[in-house]
Amino acid sequence: MTEDLIIRKTGRVGHISLNRPKVIHSLNLAMCEAMRDTLIAWRDDDSVEAVLIDHSEGRGFCAGGDIAMLQASGKKDGKEGREFFYKEYQLNHLLFEYPKPVVAFMDGITMGGGVGISQPATYRVATENTRFAMPETGIGLFPDVGGGWYLSRLAGRLGQFLALTGARLDGAECKEVGLATHYVPAEQLEEAKQRISENPDRIDGILGQLSDIVPPARIADNLDKIDKFFASDVYEEVLAALDADGSDWALKERGTLGTKSPQTCKVALRQLKEGAAMATFADEMRNEYRIASRVLVRHDFIEGVRALIVDKDNDPKWDPATPEETSDELIDSIFAPLPAEEEWKPL
């Protein structure tokens, strides 16, 4: 086991708390392996009727994966990074297929890897502190951990907008668009967990009773614009639509996209298009592992992490530098099947 998780049984539930507060509970390989082993053990344990996933302390549920390790691995042969993605995606799939109810408490920052362990949950509880995002285009990665499945299944073109811009949603917005199933004030969470541990057969009712009136969701005012300007799966057409409009909103979003990796934006649009047509979540994760194993060792990821996380100069030099230079052949190579023995497989 790992000290980065607090694992216990409380009443009739299994309870996993992420416990790396200094890095907003970002997931590392040991955490993914320990969560996997615990969930497998609890799957066949009759004394565990439901599973709760939350964080121990601090301002976020989970800010993502172990970016420093991934970048260091990408600079070398990528082996360690590929192992992390492989096992993280197995954990995501295990949660997606889990036979017992899972309750994820998305209190605070819920990004990247945190999305991957909360979106498969039966119950996804947002609060006034929730800040949900898939910000990978800013560091040359891509919206993985099932992003191609979840984002492509949101109404209209919201998923494409979130994948390309990395925009943050608050708790009310998550509830409005279906990323959260409930909106509960943070001060009520401990009561919710206690009551669920005593009555795991009444999760729906307990969360319903403790739910608050949801504040207006600001994103609702922009959904028409998002559907209009982000309608195309061709990245250049999205940019052209924003350029042609010239409204304050369009200019702001166009400015945001100008800072993102063109490679990643093209990958994300194709990933969501293919994800929408996937028959199973395992198919999605296989596709994402192919992408991850390639993107991990490419320039944009290593440079994006340098610019935004290490040096913090916020001035990444993308290569290819423009959408026009990012060829279909390059994107095809990122999505190509791996050798049979290297392909991702579920547990």
* Catalytic positions, written as ranges: 65, 113, 136, 144
Q: Which two three-digit tokens encode residue 194?
A: 């206690």
Which of 100, 110, 80 shows the shortest CA–CA distance to 18? 110
Question: How many other C-beta atoms lie within 10 A of the C-beta of residue 328?
Answer: 9
- H/E stretch holding 73 reads helix 67-75
Question: How many helices (H) and strands (E) would you count in the chain?
Answer: 16, 10
Written as one string, the DSSP assignment of 240-268 is HHHHHH--HHHHHHHHHHTTS-HHHHHHH
16: helix, strand or coil: strand
Residue for token pair 């000290």: 3
Query: How do the residues of the chain divide into helix, strand and coil, expressed in percent and rounded to 5?
Result: 55, 10, 35
Residues with Cβ < 8 Å from 227, sequence gap 6 or more? 156, 157, 158
Residue for token pair 């979130």: 162
* Cβ contact 109:24 at 8 Å: yes
Which of 96, 92, 69 shows the shortest CA–CA distance to 143? 92
